[in-house]
Structure 1
Amino acid sequence: MISLQKAYLGMQCFWGAESTFAKLDGVLATRVGYAGGTTATPNYRNIGDHTEITEVQFDERIISYDKILDCFWENHDPTKEKYGKRKLRTYIQKLIQFYQAEDYHQKYWLRCQTAIFEKLNLNDEEVVSSLLATKVNAFLGGYKNFDVLKQLADKYRLDDDVIQLIESIAVKSGDTSACHFVNLIAQSLRGVDLISVCLIRWSERRCGVDWLAREAMRWDDSCGKDGWTVGLS
């Protein structure tokens, strides 16, 4: 049995982030949840001081942790001007616990496509943990490597009408993963070792809600007050 590595990354909103990471070869499972805060038993209505997080399970024989971080940085630029003019504060924090989000958030793009979702006939646990749900969710977020879809179709004996529907949505949708890149956090679990996470926090007024935005980065004092140096642990 393959031993998968895990990485925990946040690119708010986690609906799009989950799909984005699922597009990577070697990522075999994803699930979304909350982490990084102190609020007990967070949920979507009461996230407290937590951040929306995607758990990425990957085969390091196929993809490295660094490549996953490359995807993270490609989909978020912490130096980009934000909506509000708020001060940035830097602090160090370890991810202590991951709280799985409600079922209706897991593989959100897949759940939105009722015809496909019903045809796959997956229970909630399978939606969270299966390769099929993970990769179909990627296609419904704009993934277009249809060789992977053919492999899924052969392995899971998918009907032709389901395959065609997935393809048509993937082609038309483009990449819908770029939704609300506000809350960010990153951490990797390698065995029992926790990698320290350096987070950037800023408050932002968006849609009438104060969001807590976070980013995994190393602050380089040598770059001065007007610059950023992004580093990977």
Structure 2
Amino acid sequence: MKVPPIDLLMPKTTETATFSMGCFWSPDALFGSINGVVRTKVGYTGGTTDAPTYWTLADHIETVQLDYDPKKLSFQTLLHLFFTNHKAARAPWKRQYASAIFYHDQKQKDLAMAAKAAFQTQAGQQIYTEINPLKTFYVAEDRHQKYKLQRQPQIWEEFQEMYPRMDALLHSTAAAKVNAYLYGYGSSEELESSISSFGLSPSAQQVLLQKTRSPKPISCS
């Protein structure tokens, strides 16, 4: 099986962050575009019922979970991206779309509490973000993963050839990056310099370049 060159560069140690930002398709792509993020996936957490699905969410929330290289990316930077890329000052109209940070340890909890307080002071209004311990993260159905990537047939077919199983594809940095570019995240310069590392054929690379609509870099500061 051919493996994208970028997927051969996995760091030895990663840390995990789990965020809810009102939905999960766009946040999955947002974080997938950030250098230092190794992999992303979407799912459900925060509720009290077992084995939720999209149609039986009960009190769970749409969530994105990501693994990142702590040598290249800090949790504080991820919190900045979290608060500046969704409307945390707007009360959710439905539990499914709530704003939340699910911390994995005490350090993440402390940093999340401090970031929320600072952002609330800066915004001058109430911030509705919940800060809760992560219990169980339930991976969402296959159709919700890498949403834009799945809707580009030629590129998607090539990823399926490289990663026939969805759980393997969700470990791919290349899949996260390509999905991000198709969503409009990233920069044209970064795409052009890294496109050869995604394991795609020349024709699929051309499709990616054509379908990517003026990607813009995301500020991490």
Whether TM-score is above 0.5 comes out as yes
1:10 and 1:21 mapped to 2: Cα distance?
Answer: 12
Q: CA deviation at 1:171?
A: 2.1
Equivalent position of 1:62 in the other structure: 72
User: Which of 50, 63, 75 is matched with 1:40 structurally?
Assistant: 50
User: Could you report, residue by residue, the CA deviation over 1:21-50 in whole angstroms, capped at 9, with x for unpaired residues?
Assistant: 111111110011110010111010101100
Distance 1:47 1:7, change over 3 A: same
Equivalent position of 2:82 in the other structure: 72
Q: Percent identity?
A: 32
Q: CA deviation at 1:12?
A: 2.5
Equivalent position of 2:208 in the other structure: 166
Q: When the two structures are aligned, how many residues end up with a matched partner?
A: 172
Q: CA deviation at 1:13?
A: 1.6
Check if 1:126 corresponds to 2:136: no
Distance 1:147 1:125, change over 3 A: farther
Verify the 8 A CA contact 1:14 1:54 in the aligned structure 2: yes
Distance 1:158 1:151, change over 3 A: farther
For the pair shown, which has the larger CA radius of gyration, 1 or 2? Answer: 1
Verify the 8 A CA contact 2:44 2:139 in the aligned structure 1: yes
More helix by share: 2
Q: Which amino acid aligns with 2:30?
A: T
Q: Which amino acid aligns with 1:129?
A: H
User: Which of 54, 60, 63 is matched with 1:50 structurally?
Assistant: 60
1:48 and 1:152 mapped to 2: Cα distance?
Answer: 41
1:50 and 1:81 mapped to 2: Cα distance?
Answer: 16
Distance 1:81 1:98, change over 3 A: closer
Equivalent position of 1:28 in the other structure: 38
Distance 1:81 1:101, change over 3 A: closer
2:167 and 2:136 mapped to 1: Cα distance?
Answer: 20
Verify the 8 A CA contact 1:107 1:127 in the aligned structure 2: no
**TM-score (structure 1 length as normaliser):** 0.65
1:171 and 1:90 mapped to 2: Cα distance?
Answer: 31
Verify the 8 A CA contact 1:18 1:30 in the aligned structure 2: yes
1:111 and 1:139 mapped to 2: Cα distance?
Answer: 13
Distance 1:92 1:151, change over 3 A: closer
* Secondary structure at 1:70 match in 2: helix
More strand by share: 1
Q: CA deviation at 1:157?
A: 3.9
2:91 and 2:39 mapped to 1: Cα distance?
Answer: 33
User: Could you report, residue by residue, the CA deviation over 1:51-107 in whole angstroms, capped at 9, with x for unpaired residues?
Assistant: 0110111111111111111111111232247779xxx98976322110111111111
1:169 and 1:32 mapped to 2: Cα distance?
Answer: 23
2:44 and 2:190 mapped to 1: Cα distance?
Answer: 29
Q: What's the Cα RMSD here?
A: 2.7
* Secondary structure at 2:148 match in 1: helix
User: Could you report, residue by residue, the CA deviation over 1:108-145 in whole angstroms, capped at 9, with x for unpaired residues?
Assistant: 11111122101232321232111111111111110243
Q: Which amino acid aligns with 1:107?
A: K
**TM-score (structure 2 length as normaliser):** 0.69
Q: Where does the alignment leave 5 or more consecutive residues of structure 1 unmatched?
A: 176-233
* Secondary structure at 2:150 match in 1: helix
